[in-house]
Structure 1
Amino acid sequence: MKQIYIGHDTITGIFSAIYDAWKESRDQEAGIALRGYVTPQLFCEYKETEESEQKSIAVERLIKTHLGYNAYWDIYHALLADDADKADAVYQTMLEARRVSDSSKIMEHLSNPYVAKVFELSRKVANEAHLFTEFIRFRELENGVLLSEITPIGQVLTCIADHFTNRFPLENWMVYDKTHKVFLVHQAKSDWVLVQGEELDKEAAGKISTAESEFEHLWKGFCSAIAIKERENLACQRNHLPIHFRQDMTEFH
């Protein structure tokens, strides 16, 4: 009977499920499912996975040692995607790596549908994260904190954290992921952290500083002034700046 291991939709949760599957059923038919996305099938036995940081570290070490760092980052990014089958694709890719002569080149075996899916999801998340490094807009609140609200498809906060930490090392700033209800928080002269289980104080988030209000007005005026109505090309605009990103950008408010 096929064993299906169920984990939370987090890196730690998925790696914990992979750890149990790898330890108990790697030589048998097995799969990984995400909690909340399980579709019961015949002749399958489902097991809830106990999430553990120790398990996650062990799987991370296994991937880096046998598949290499490049494959690890492909897998890491793929697991941040919005896809119900991503965890199983990663697990099946790891199993496939055991069958090839050089496991460090597993991501080159795109003829395998699971490897191809991991590659596709990784590229999708990496591309989205790259776009957010360009399209994110911060606003200064009355308390001096810089705040940005974004609506990503994938869980991209960890992908953009180092970029903004390097850009604003002396600032207190936050990026709020409205899709997944997660905060990326940076304290001046410190490292960034992820905060889950908290709600955004909309009243405080709406109180911007006087200087911020003035600069927002100037920025909108600049964007309006440089526009040439006779050369307006909406298709070209959408190609360079997809509509999905505009909802959280100052110049489109």
Structure 2
Amino acid sequence: MKTVFVCNDTVTGIFSGIYDAWKSGKGETDCEIVLGGMLDFQLFCDYVEVEETEHKAMAVESLIRRHLGERAYGAIYHALMSADQKKGDAVLGTMLAARQLKDSTKIMDHLGHPKVEKVFELARNVFGEAHSYKGFLRFRELKNGVLYAEITPKNQVLTCLAPHFAERLPVENWMIHDKPHKSFAVHEAGKQWVIVWGESFDEETFQDVSEKEEKYAKLWTGFCRTIAVESRINPKCQQKNLPYRFRGNMVEFTMSV
């Protein structure tokens, strides 16, 4: 009978599910990882609720790094940030496939395997979205001096963005708000960044920008419009390089002069 391991949509939750599936000793066709809330019940399947623990997650992380290598771990980690509902099962299938190889560190070269291919595609999608936000994300200074930015990503990219901005703004207090996933990357000046979930914040505070911010936002918007050459405007090229879904939180498109 096929065993379906039901886990939370977090790295710790999915790694805990993989831990239980791995310990069961079952093959790829006899076990599956499903995210909680995404169940599509099937006949002749045994459903198991996964207990999420840091011990399980750390054991799986160590296993991947030791036997599959850092390249595979990077791909798997990025894949788990995806919004795809089948990501957990794709990672489990990739790990089970690696067990059959003489050199398991070469697993990401085996793109003929459907689960490996899916992990590769998910990771590339997440990395691409995170890379775009590194250029399109816009901070604004609030009255309390904190730099604040809103993003609306498809995938959970905060852990990809936070190290990038922590390196570039190490002496600033800043926070990045992932609105769809209701999470924040928070950085206190001179300290390490953290990810925050489930905290309630006063949304009005995020709209209360400093006078200096209003001034420079208007100057920047005016500059962007002034340098545009009307006869050379190419909407299709603009959309290709800056898709509409990124523009809602960019000052160039949300302010009027």
Regarding TM over 0.5, the answer is yes
Q: How far is 1:173 from its partner?
A: 0.3
1:6 alignment counterpart:
6
Q: How far is 1:24 from its partner?
A: 1.5
Give per-residue Cα distances to partners, 1:42-87, cap 9 Å, x unaligned. Answer: 1111100000001000000000111000000000000000101000
Kindly provide the amino acid, as one letter, of the partner of residue 8 in structure 1.
Answer: N
CA distance in 2, matches of 1:185, 1:4: 36
Give per-residue Cα distances to partners, 1:121-148, cap 9 Å, x unaligned. Answer: 0000001101111000000000000000
CA distance in 2, matches of 1:148, 1:139: 6
Kindly provide the amino acid, as one letter, of the partner of residue 11 in structure 1.
Answer: V
Kindly provide the amino acid, as one letter, of the partner of residue 52 in structure 2.
Answer: E
1:50 alignment counterpart:
51
Runs of 4+ in 1 over 6 A off after TM superposition: none
Work out the percentage of aligned pairs sharing the same amino acid. 53
1:82 alignment counterpart:
83
What's the secondary structure of 2:107's corresponding residue?
helix
2:123 alignment counterpart:
122
Kindly provide the amino acid, as one letter, of the partner of residue 67 in structure 1.
Answer: L
Q: How far is 1:233 from its partner?
A: 0.4
1:98 aligns with 2:99: yes
2:23 alignment counterpart:
23
TM superposition score normalised by structure 1: 0.98
Work out whether residues 26 and 95 of structure 1, in 8 Å CA contact, stay in contact via their aligned partners in 2. Answer: no
Q: How does 1:230-249 map to 2 (within 5 A)?
A: 230-249=231-250
Kindly provide the amino acid, as one letter, of the partner of residue 43 in structure 1.
Answer: F
What's the secondary structure of 1:67's corresponding residue?
helix
Work out whether residues 6 and 47 of structure 2, in 8 Å CA contact, stay in contact via their aligned partners in 1. Answer: yes
Give per-residue Cα distances to partners, 1:4-59, cap 9 Å, x unaligned. Answer: 00110000000000001101243471110000111101111110000000100000
Work out whether residues 27 and 96 of structure 2, in 8 Å CA contact, stay in contact via their aligned partners in 1. Answer: no
What's the secondary structure of 1:68's corresponding residue?
helix
* CA RMSD after TM alignment: 0.9
Work out whether residues 151 and 249 of structure 2, in 8 Å CA contact, stay in contact via their aligned partners in 1. Answer: yes
1:141 aligns with 2:146: no
Q: How far is 1:101 from its partner?
A: 1.8
Kindly provide the amino acid, as one letter, of the partner of residue 147 in structure 2.
Answer: L
Question: Residues 27 and 235 (structure 1 numbering): CA distance in 2 closer, same or farther, change over 3 Å?
Answer: closer
CA distance in 2, matches of 1:203, 1:99: 55
How many pairs are equivalent?
253
What's the secondary structure of 2:46's corresponding residue?
strand
CA distance in 1, matches of 2:246, 2:26: 41
Kindly provide the amino acid, as one letter, of the partner of residue 9 in structure 1.
Answer: D
Question: Residues 105 and 203 (structure 1 numbering): CA distance in 2 closer, same or farther, change over 3 Å?
Answer: same
CA distance in 2, matches of 1:161, 1:85: 26
Kindly provide the amino acid, as one letter, of the partner of residue 23 in structure 2.
Answer: K
CA distance in 2, matches of 1:42, 1:227: 61
Q: How far is 1:169 from its partner?
A: 0.4
CA distance in 1, matches of 2:193, 2:120: 28
